[in-house]
Copies of this chain bind each other. A is one copy, B any other.
């Protein structure tokens, strides 16, 4: 049997009320009593039952975090940021990986809702209406997505895209392919929008069909990219870019000599491969941390937009 507040109270010869005060409002209890209670609590190994506490205070000390696919290294990075900040604030984190299944997500959140003080939603595909509904049921912060009226943390995609295109233009590229991610993904729509805005005059843009946001997506579309006779390609994300790299290598296409490849996200992997991947770094730890801050400070309307940074590495070079 776990040790409860009553055990401590009995052992210390005080009431439960005094125990709880000694522990959570030390200043209102006489020092001698306080110290004795604290000592006994420690020696008994007492930890308040957070569920019981939550029942009465309305605050559970828990956070929910929803991500679409932990297999994409982008998301573990976010999770780490969330965890770090949450633990600092003495909160525990419920994690749910929805496996890219938008249908299941809302249900998952609702099951968690009562057990958490708020939810961080990293859910590029969930319907906007669903998100709005959820946000009325439980404090919600969106990660990497914007929905009117809901707090969110995003990145400066437009500026990131501008950095990417400027880099390629400076290298002499004038005809560039974009490998699109899932059609229904907010992030993809945002990237396409930014890309079009940024290339309007300077560059000819070739958009391929949509692929799954994974390594396999890149592999599958690589030959189309080659056939499009571009000198550079921007991928929806790093995983897709790595898929391109892989298939290019298999076909004997040299990167960056024959074609330049540029990714998005800056997953740790991007720096580990050969040639290393030039990519637009999105804030990950910081996004997670900022999300937790918004949630815990009850900034339920606020939007934060974090800077992005082009990481120039080996996979981009002069247009041939």
Contacts and interface: CB of A to CB of B under 8 A. Distances in A.
A47 B110 contact: yes
Interface string A112-146: 11110000000000000000000001000000000
Interface in A234-278: 242-243, 246, 249, 268-269, 272-274
Contacts of A242: 272
Interface string A45-84: 1011111101100001010000000110101110110011
A111 interface: yes
A110 B49 CA distance: 11
Nearest to A77: B71
Contacts of A84: 99
A70 B74 CA distance: 11
A205 interface: no
A292 to B, nearest CB: 14
| Number of identical protomers | 2
Interface in A34-54: 45, 47-52, 54
Given A51-B51, A114-B51, A115-B51, A76 B83 contact: no
Contacts of A45: 110, 137
Contacts of A246: 272, 274
A4 to B, nearest CB: 10
Nearest to A112: B92
Interface string A168-184: 00000000000000000
A71 B60 contact: no
A186 interface: no
Nearest to A104: B87
A2 interface: yes
Contacts of A272: 215, 242-243, 246, 269, 273
Nearest to A50: B115
A203 interface: no
A93 interface: yes
A237 B2 CA distance: 39
B97 A80 contact: yes
A47 B113 contact: yes
A12 interface: no
Contact of A94 (B77, B94, B99, B114): B94
29 contacts: A2-B113, A2-B114, A2-B137, A47-B113, A48-B114, A49-B55, A49-B114, A50-B114, A50-B115, A51-B55, A51-B60, A51-B114, A51-B115, A55-B55, A62-B115, A70-B76, A70-B77, A70-B79, A73-B76, A79-B97, A83-B96, A84-B99, A87-B96, A92-B96, A92-B111, A93-B94, A93-B95, A94-B95, A249-B274
Interface of A: 2, 45, 47-52, 54-55, 60, 62, 70-71, 73, 75-77, 79-80, 83-84, 87, 92-97, 99, 108, 110-115, 137, 215, 242-243, 246, 249, 268-269, 272-274
For the complex of A and B, 4 pairs with smallest distance between CB atoms: A51-B51, A95-B95, A70-B76, A49-B114
